[in-house]
Amino acid sequence: MKRKDMLVEEVMKKEVITVRRGTTLKELIEIFGKFTFHTLPVIEKDNKLVGVIALEDIFKIFEPYPSHILEMLERVPFLDEYGERSLLEVDIPPELGVLCVVDDLMNRNVITISGEMTTFEARSLMKLHKVRRLPVVDEEGHLIGIVSLFDIILAVFKKKGVL
């Protein structure tokens, strides 16, 4: 019987740029500036996945209230939370670049996938959780790769002879 769907391990990227909990904000911004993707797995020793950090997580530093309060405030038409202030006018101490670390900002509730799961299952998880990338882990939670929606699309195009 011919298998219709590909496995995640067949399409995932095995070389993954990662950061650690102690990576400073300055180092993190430099890494984001170097690469085109804006979500990085956070690992401990032995490649154990402990979270993810996205470029958007850095914006939390500038939010005076939790995100659900900001969303509520944005719905009120006569309130302008930030007014005409620009980012250059926000008081940011220079020490923030070394005192703020990934552990302060990362998301600990990470949706992961196994390499033995299918790309269909990966895409279903991505839709359900509104993400475009999933860390791929082994049975012990060690990072073994990452799969993105783009990886799945490329694999399908190759399989269909488009590429």
Phi, psi of 13 (to 5 degrees): -85, 130
- For the stretch 149-154, contacts whose Cβ atoms lie closer than 8 Å and that sit 24 or more positions apart, written own/partner, are 149/123, 151/11, 151/12, 151/13, 152/11, 152/119, 152/122, 152/123, 154/11
What pLDDT, in 10s, does the model give residues 38-75?
899 999 988 999 999 998 888 777 666 556 555 665 66
**How many CB atoms neighbour CB 89 within 10 A?**
10
The single-letter code of the amino acid at 108 is R
**How many CB atoms neighbour CB 132 within 10 A?**
14
- SS3 for 107? strand
Superfamily of domain 8-159: CBS-domain (3.10.580.10)
Q: Is 137:143 a contact under the CB 8 Å cutoff?
A: yes
What pLDDT, in 10s, does the model give residues 69-110?
556 656 655 545 444 444 445 566 677 777 789 998 999 999
What pLDDT, in 10s, does the model give residues 1-38?
455 789 999 999 999 999 999 999 999 999 999 988 78
Tell me the CA distances in angstroms from 123 to 109, 111, 149, one per residue in order. 18, 12, 7
